[in-house]
Amino acid sequence: MILVAGPASTYLAEKLAEITGLKLIKLEHKLFPDGESYIRFPEKIEGQDLLVIQGTHPPQDRHLIQAYFIAENAIDLGAKSVSLIAPYLAYARQDKRFLEGEILSIKSVLGMLKSAGYEKIYTVNIHSPWIAESSPIPLINIHAEKAMARYLKELDVENPVVVSVGKKGEEMASAVANELDADYAVARSSRDRVTGRVMVELERVQKLKNAIVVDDIISTGGTMVEVVNALKKMGAEKIYVACVHGLMIGKAAEKILNAGAEQIIASDTIPSEYSKYSVAEVLVEEVIRGK
Ligand code: R5P
């Protein structure tokens, strides 16, 4: 198997190659002045099984079309098979028609990647894991909780309560709490579909000193700000905020830190200054060694 670094995820592909010793092909890439992508395989790939690493974080549409170009052309150039690691899978939050007539974006994205020629898609902590069941292409969800917990352990937070966001987040909180040998609590959040405002209620909190809030995604930071505010009102002293995918749109980080969080922690599925832990090891374990 050969690893192929897509333009969006070269850093992560390099880590995977370093850990596994697998050969890595770095695609040549540039943007034309009008914003169109130019991509070139710098060497022959005939007869090879390729594992492409290409995240679909912002700019999502550009990264998606690049993922499409890569697979379609790999097959055209004679690759035997092409699979994709998309550490962050775009559009997974539009998995339902919340309002009548809405586009079911994730279904279209998965269909598009299948028609590009990918055999399988691996992703990390997908927002809507249930879509794997109806996906037109095998979709494998890898969990980053252990990698997150390893980093959190090093922070050595005194008596932390791990706080989840939403019902789905409860699984993440309990997994992280289990690794940290800590208790966990649930912050039920709901978002007004029209105004985007997030409301939060905390459940299952007894003794509270320090808190670690965990979520799959931080996007605008609105949800985290509400949870941090609620925890402050309940008397939390230190609050750490951790996620897998740090989209950090606009002033998300500033808003969260201003609300009183000590630190923002994200993985490297989306590279940023908040990428404090790596999903490389779990990807190697599950995708490459698990094969
Ligand atoms: C919601 O279901 C997710 O787990 C996140 O809480 C949400 O997507 C975060 O978005 P934002 O940062 O814009 O509040």
For 254-273, what is each residue's pLDDT tens digit?
Answer: 999 999 999 999 999 999 99
CATH class as words, domain 2-143+279-288: alpha beta
Q: Which residue has the higher pLDDT, 184 or 243?
A: 243
Q: Say if residue 57's pLDDT is above 70.
A: yes
CB distance 220 to ligand 1 below 6 Å: yes
Q: Which atom of ligand 1 is nearest to the CA of 219?
A: 12
Q: Which stretches of 69-177 are assigned E, i.e. beta strand?
A: 81-86, 121-124, 139-142, 160-165
SS3 162: strand
Which one-letter DSSP state was computed for residue 290?
A: T
Angle at 92 between CA 255 and CA 216, to 5 degrees: 45
48-77 mean pLDDT? 98
Residue 199 confidence (pLDDT): 60
Per CATH, the architecture of 145-268 is what? 3-Layer(aba) Sandwich (3.40)
| CA 219 to ligand 1 centroid distance, Å | 6
CB distance 226 to ligand 1 below 6 Å: no
SS3 200: strand
Q: Which atom of ligand 1 is nearest to the CA of 93?
A: 8
What share of the chain has pLDDT > 70, as a percent? Answer: 94
Choice among 62-76, 161-175, 274-288 with the minimum mean pLDDT:
161-175
Residue 206 confidence (pLDDT): 65
Cα 242 to chain centroid, rounded: 12
What share of the chain has pLDDT > 90, as a percent? Answer: 79
Residue 106 confidence (pLDDT): 95
92-121: per-residue pLDDT in tens? 988 888 889 998 999 999 999 999 999 999
191-214 mean pLDDT? 73
Q: Are 136 and 110 within 8 A, CB to CB?
A: yes
Pocket test for ligand 1, best of 215, 224, 248, 249 (most atoms within 8 A of CB): 215
Residue 197 confidence (pLDDT): 62
Domain limits, CATH 3.40.50.2020, in the chain: 2-143+279-288, 145-268
CB distance 227 to ligand 1 below 6 Å: no
Q: Say if residue 232's pLDDT is above 80.
A: yes
The residue to which tokens 């902590």 are assigned: 125
Q: Quote the tokens at residue 222.
A: 């609105």
Q: Say if residue 136's pLDDT is above 60.
A: yes
For residues 9 and 249, give the distance between their C-alpha atoms in angstroms, rounded to a whole number: 19
Measure the N-to-C terminal CA separation of the chain; round to a whole number of Å: 11
114-129 mean pLDDT? 96
187-200: per-residue pLDDT in tens? 876 666 676 665 66
CB distance 222 to ligand 1 below 6 Å: yes
CB distance 165 to ligand 1 below 6 Å: yes
| CA 120 to ligand 1 centroid distance, Å | 27
CB distance 128 to ligand 1 below 6 Å: no
Q: Say if residue 291's pLDDT is above 60.
A: no
| CA 217 to ligand 1 centroid distance, Å | 6
Q: Radius of gyration (Cα) for the chain, nearest Å?
A: 20
Q: Supply the mean pLDDT for the chain.
A: 93
For residues 38 and 252, give the distance between their C-alpha atoms in angstroms, rounded to a whole number: 32
12-24: per-residue pLDDT in tens? 999 999 999 999 9
CB distance 162 to ligand 1 below 6 Å: no
CB distance 223 to ligand 1 below 6 Å: yes
CB distance 178 to ligand 1 below 6 Å: no
65-99: per-residue pLDDT in tens? 999 999 999 999 999 999 999 999 999 988 888 88
Instruction: Please report which confidence band the pLDDT of residue 201 belongs to, taking 50, 70 and 90 as the band edges.
Output: low
Q: Which atom of ligand 1 is nearest to the CA of 215?
A: 4
Q: Pairing between strand 28-31 and 198-203?
A: unpaired
| CA 288 to ligand 1 centroid distance, Å | 30
Residue 235 confidence (pLDDT): 86
Residue 234 confidence (pLDDT): 82
